[in-house]
Amino acid sequence: MTSNQSDEPPSPAVLIVDGDIVSRHVIADYLRHCGYAVVEAASSAEAMIALREPTLSIDVILCEVTVVGTQGCFELASWVRANRPELEVKLAGGVEMAAQTAAELCESGPHLKRPYEPSAVIDYVKQLRASRPL
């Protein structure tokens, strides 16, 4: 959960919206490693549920632009501007841009450091995708 029982302030939370489980999870883990709370949505519809859920605290949205759903990232960004203008929306086209955006978030994140280089993220996603045929 993004709430925190201790006196420490809660970790800033990133909502990652990506229809590819491999890239979504690898990027999400990367962000968790540098101290963010992360919420994973597989579609824009799931992202909307997250954004409307009062117990879920979101600070930044990272949306992969090919995401499926009734709304794509651009429509999601428009909705956020109109309804949740305090939220930052970062659009990423492909895993390379998503990894770089995640790395930039880590630069200013709770731990102020990257867990590893974004190139390792990209390489790992490519490796996992290549290994998919069982």
Question: For binding to other proteins (CB under 8 A), which residues are involved?
Answer: 1, 20-22, 25-26, 29-30, 33, 39-43, 46, 49-50, 53, 56, 115-116, 120-121, 123-124, 128-129, 131-134
Cβ–Cβ < 8 Å for 63, 89: yes
| Closest distance to other proteins from the beta carbon of 102 (Å) | 13
| Closest distance to other proteins from the beta carbon of 97 (Å) | 18
| Closest distance to other proteins from the beta carbon of 83 (Å) | 18
CA distances from 84 to 61, 68, 79, 81, 131 (A): 11, 21, 8, 6, 39
Comparison of 25 and 85: residue with beta carbon closer to other proteins = 25
CA distances from 4 to 7, 52, 56 (A): 8, 20, 12
Comparison of 97 and 128: residue with beta carbon closer to other proteins = 128
Comparison of 1 and 104: residue with beta carbon closer to other proteins = 1
Cβ–Cβ < 8 Å for 116, 44: no
Comparison of 64 and 124: residue with beta carbon closer to other proteins = 124
Tokens of 116: 């590893």
Tell me the CA end-to-end span of the chain in Å, nearest whole number: 34
Comparison of 56 and 65: residue with beta carbon closer to other proteins = 56
| Closest distance to other proteins from the beta carbon of 26 (Å) | 5
Residue 30 exposure: Cα atoms within 13 Å on the Cβ side: 29
| Closest distance to other proteins from the beta carbon of 45 (Å) | 8
